[in-house]
Structure 1
């Protein structure tokens, strides 16, 4: 059987964990992979940590002008990388550039989506995708408003973070391995907001977590996993606060911690899957994928600082009991659609 040539584009750090098992599986099946990744956050470090070969193309822009300029430049560079490769199928998760290039070059594309509020990204990509894999919690009508063909949408029960744990091996010694100096018996892992993202209006030199840290550092060890240097500087020099330097084994950290408080999304949902108590104080609109875990009783959400603090103190004393919930096999859904799309033109 002739192998497929598959292009995977990675544009954000969580997408490395999302695709790593897909990449390893496809490689083991003898498929020919082209993996591109932009220079943003910890993407390159994570790619190296998971031993994934990749081509670095483009970078991230902060202002709207920079975002447009960098994305346009990245399309220009990627076209030259992909044009002569005779790609059978292209795969991405919220990449702005891959659907546009795949459409322009006549390559079938498979797109993974989990943010219905990413207005600009969705308008630029969804109308161009052959198939869109998305949680069934997201309203299909919202995706159609962005121009998605309803016949292209493949819903599933669960969220994309399920992919992060397909080959997860828990390291119970993670605190010792990181040589953490922990004063209290309880530990809280915190993740600041994605303040550089286009879908969130936030100041990258401030964090909604600051007043929460100021109180909870008197009751538990605080571990902060920042997204970038300026964000780390917000929490520097605070007693009983440890700033983690990525890449680290965040999955083991979340499982080991007594509580996760996140102003973002991915790590909150990962904690929910691991059944570590988690509080979301994400400053944007509640995402459907967050509501999925809230409805399951696996996540608490509030933007009220006092309420977050009180709930945090309650959680570190009385964590919730294990909750059983059923999900679809997202890994198999992705693999099946890669082969289905890739073999259509064979």
Structure 2
């Protein structure tokens, strides 16, 4: 049996790399498609996972996004015809889901974002199975998604690679860092559709400039900066020079997260990962996230501030007290469900139904 996986972000690359290993242990053939974006390629290379690059990130405008999507679909069609996959799995990728549906390939979708209205409309109705964290169930129902197609698990997707994590200080040594004496800062996904209304509020490539100034001038800590786009990298590099560390290559980031004083991100994945590992983390994602609220209720050290412009003092207060929030989360983490076994189970179920 041949399985086709698609990964469009760093988080998805990590998840699909672990899923790849589980599926190949079942003696299944697997191909992974991805795109040229962010730290995806480095993640696959670091983990020795084979992949095929198809296209790149769509850009800022609707026209650019649509053009890139259509071009990717044509190339994905050729790949799917060549490999003849029996089942397709993606993290709600509109491109690969559309191609799989058009070719009659059964599809499993993974998702933890009920709020992604446009993407969900393009993907969820085409799925044979949708796997999501149980904490998002109520939100899915509010958006009108119900039925037997959903499978829920008592965890978050990040458990797949944090549950068995063992920290190593070698990544710190590469960057000449000392434990608990640096902050990881990840920018917002400014070009994403869900950020459009917020992006108009500032002209800089990233809103994290004020935070960078505060950390450098007030906290006197090292900063490891992870941009999402070239414009963000160039802007911060030009403004701060050697005051900010910007890794040129993909790292085993979880090791850096574990030993960080704190982690701040404009998205959610780094915050969730870090909190699962016990590191105080802050997400500045502009909408309330079910996964973050749920982890917070379980006493993981994670905080969400949806408006960094009007709540800057809340961010600095959390940063000043970050060390007080650090926790040993190993016991709590063991109680969370790893989604990989459920995904593999659904693959086998689908193969029996459609085989």
Does the aligned pair in 1 maintain the 2:292–2:303 contact within 8 Å? no
TM value normalised by structure 2: 0.88
Cross-structure match for 1:275: 278
Cα pair distance change 1:45/1:329, threshold 3 Å = closer
- Report Cα offsets for 1:267-294 as digits up to 9, x if no partner: 0100111010112222x21121122222
Matched, 1:172 2:169: yes
| Superposition map of 1:218-233 within 5 A | 218-219=218-219, 220-233=221-234
Cross-structure match for 1:332: 341
- Residue 151 of structure 1 aligns to a residue whose secondary structure is coil
- Residue 245 of structure 2 aligns to a residue whose secondary structure is strand
Cα pair distance change 1:150/1:185, threshold 3 Å = closer
- Report Cα offsets for 1:285-305 as digits up to 9, x if no partner: 112112222222321222311
Which runs of no fewer than 5 residues in structure 2 stay unpaired? none
Does the aligned pair in 1 maintain the 2:185–2:223 contact within 8 Å? yes
1:143 to partner: Cα distance: 5.5
Cross-structure match for 1:291: 293
Cross-structure match for 2:182: 187
Cα pair distance change 1:204/1:111, threshold 3 Å = farther
- Report Cα offsets for 1:224-270 as digits up to 9, x if no partner: 11122211233224264222223011100000112111221110100
CA–CA distance in structure 2, aligned partners of residues 338 and 306 of structure 1: 47
CA–CA distance in structure 2, aligned partners of residues 233 and 206 of structure 1: 9
1:186 to partner: Cα distance: 2.2
User: Which residue of 103, 118, 121 corresponds with 2:119?
Assistant: 121
Matched, 1:196 2:230: no
Cα pair distance change 1:297/1:208, threshold 3 Å = farther
- Residue 199 of structure 1 aligns to a residue whose secondary structure is helix
1:9 to partner: Cα distance: 1.1
1:343 to partner: Cα distance: 2.7
| Superposition map of 1:72-91 within 5 A | 72-91=70-89
Cα pair distance change 1:149/1:74, threshold 3 Å = farther
Does the aligned pair in 2 maintain the 1:57–1:78 contact within 8 Å? yes
CA–CA distance in structure 2, aligned partners of residues 255 and 329 of structure 1: 19
Cα pair distance change 1:135/1:249, threshold 3 Å = same
1:66 to partner: Cα distance: 0.9
- Report Cα offsets for 1:92-135 as digits up to 9, x if no partner: 11211222122211111111001122111111000000100011
Cα pair distance change 1:274/1:185, threshold 3 Å = closer
Number of residue pairs matched by the alignment? 338
CA–CA distance in structure 2, aligned partners of residues 174 and 165 of structure 1: 17
Cα pair distance change 1:192/1:345, threshold 3 Å = same
Cross-structure match for 2:130: 132
CA–CA distance in structure 2, aligned partners of residues 88 and 156 of structure 1: 24
Structure 1 stretch displaced more, 300-309 or 264-273: 300-309
| Superposition map of 1:19-58 within 5 A | 19-58=16-55
CA–CA distance in structure 2, aligned partners of residues 315 and 34 of structure 1: 42
Which runs of no fewer than 5 residues in structure 1 stay unpaired? none
Does the aligned pair in 2 maintain the 1:196–1:204 contact within 8 Å? no
Cross-structure match for 2:266: 263
- Report Cα offsets for 1:295-342 as digits up to 9, x if no partner: 2232122231111001101113x2344355321231111111111112
CA–CA distance in structure 1, aligned partners of residues 203 and 35 of structure 2: 20
Q: CA RMSD in A?
A: 2.2
CA–CA distance in structure 1, aligned partners of residues 136 and 180 of structure 2: 39
Does the aligned pair in 2 maintain the 1:225–1:245 contact within 8 Å? no
